[in-house]
Chain A
Amino acid sequence: MSATHNLLTLDSITKRFGGLVAVNTLSFEVESKSVHGLIGPNGSGKSTTLNLLSGALALSSGEITLDHSRLTNLSAHQISKLGISRTFQLVRLLPSLTVAENVMVGGLFGHRPYGFRDADRAVSAVLDRVGLGGKGGLMPGQLTYIDTKRVELARALISQPRVLLLDEWLAGLNPTELEAGIALIASLREECEAIIVVEHVMEAIRSLCDRCVVMASGSKIAEGDVETVLNQPAVIEAYLGGDDD
Chain B
Amino acid sequence: MISSGEIRNFLIYGVLLALVATLPFWGQDYWLTIGVTIASFAAMVTSWSIFSGPTHYISLSTAAFFGVGSYTTALGIEYFPELPYWTLLVIAGGLGAVMALLVGLTTLRLSGVYFVIFTLGLAELIRQVVTWLQNWSGQKGLYVLTDLGDREIYWQFLGLCVLVYIVGWLIQRSKVGLALRVIGDDEEVAKHAGIHSARLKVLLFMIPGAVAAVAGAILAPRYIYIEPMLAFTPLLSFQVVIMALLGGTGRLWGGLIGVIPFVLVWEAIAISLPNQTTLLLGVAFLVIVYFIPKGFVGILLDLRRRLMSGGREG
Chain A minimum-CB-distance residue to B187:
A76
Is A4 engaged at the interface, CB distance under 8 Å to the other chain?
A: no
Contact of A77 among B178, B185, B195 (CB under 8 A): B195
Report the stretch among A28-36, A109-117, A231-239 that lies at the interface: A109-117
Contacts of A105 in B (CB 8 A): 178-179, 182, 189-190, 193, 195
- Complex CA gap A101/B185 in Å reads 12
Is A92 engaged at the interface, CB distance under 8 Å to the other chain?
A: yes
Whole-angstrom distance from the CB of A53 to the nearest CB of chain B? 11
Q: How many residues of B sit at the interface, in one of the four size bands?
A: 10 to 19
- Complex CA gap A73/B175 in Å reads 27
A77 touches B181 (CB 8 A): no
B193 touches A109 (CB 8 A): yes
Number of interface residues of A (CB under 8 A): 28
Whole-angstrom distance from the CB of B52 to the nearest CB of chain A? 15
- Complex CA gap A141/B186 in Å reads 15
Is B184 engaged at the interface, CB distance under 8 Å to the other chain?
A: yes
Given contacts A92-B186, A94-B186, contact A54 B181 (CB under 8 A): no
Contact of A92 among B175, B179, B188, B197 (CB under 8 A): B188
A155 touches B181 (CB 8 A): no
Interfacial residues of chain A within 116-165, with CB under 8 A of chain B in the complex:
116, 155, 159
Contact of B178 among A55, A76, A88, A101 (CB under 8 A): A101
Is A182 engaged at the interface, CB distance under 8 Å to the other chain?
A: no
Contacts of A101 in B (CB 8 A): 178
Interfacial residues of chain A within 71-123, with CB under 8 A of chain B in the complex:
75-77, 80-81, 85-86, 88, 92, 94-97, 101, 104-106, 108-111, 113, 116
A109 touches B188 (CB 8 A): no
- Complex CA gap A96/B298 in Å reads 13
Is A7 engaged at the interface, CB distance under 8 Å to the other chain?
A: no
Is A209 engaged at the interface, CB distance under 8 Å to the other chain?
A: no
Interfacial residues of chain A within 37-74, with CB under 8 A of chain B in the complex:
54-56
Given contacts A94-B181, A96-B181, A101-B178, contact A109 B194 (CB under 8 A): yes
Chain B minimum-CB-distance residue to A119:
B175
Contact of B194 among A56, A77, A95 (CB under 8 A): A77
Given contacts A77-B196, A94-B181, contact A116 B175 (CB under 8 A): yes
- Complex CA gap A88/B194 in Å reads 15
B185 touches A109 (CB 8 A): no
Given contacts A105-B182, A116-B175, contact A92 B191 (CB under 8 A): no
B193 touches A80 (CB 8 A): yes
Whole-angstrom distance from the CB of A137 to the nearest CB of chain B? 13
A56 touches B185 (CB 8 A): no
- Complex CA gap A106/B190 in Å reads 9
B189 touches A77 (CB 8 A): no
Contacts of B312 in A (CB 8 A): none
B182 touches A94 (CB 8 A): yes
A109 touches B181 (CB 8 A): no
Is B192 engaged at the interface, CB distance under 8 Å to the other chain?
A: yes
Chain A minimum-CB-distance residue to B199:
A77
Contacts of A76 in B (CB 8 A): 188, 191-192
Given contacts A76-B192, A80-B194, contact A108 B175 (CB under 8 A): yes
Chain A minimum-CB-distance residue to B184:
A96
Pick from A54, A76, A106, A108 the residue with the most CB of B within 10 Å: A76
Whole-angstrom distance from the CB of B299 to the nearest CB of chain A? 17
B188 touches A75 (CB 8 A): no
Whole-angstrom distance from the CB of B255 to the nearest CB of chain A? 19
Apart from A77-B195, A80-B191, A105-B195, 10 more pairs, CB < 8 Å: A55-B192, A76-B192, A77-B196, A80-B193, A92-B188, A97-B185, A105-B182, A106-B194, A109-B193, A159-B193
Q: B-contacting residues of A (Cβ < 8 Å)?
A: 54-56, 75-77, 80-81, 85-86, 88, 92, 94-97, 101, 104-106, 108-111, 113, 116, 155, 159
19 CB contacts below 8 A, A to B, read A55-B192, A76-B188, A76-B192, A77-B192, A77-B193, A77-B195, A77-B197, A92-B189, A94-B182, A96-B185, A104-B178, A105-B179, A105-B182, A105-B190, A105-B195, A108-B179, A109-B179, A109-B194, A109-B195
> Considering the complex of A and B, which 6 residue pairs feature the smallest CB-CB distances, nearest first?
A109-B194, A76-B191, A94-B185, A80-B194, A110-B194, A105-B193
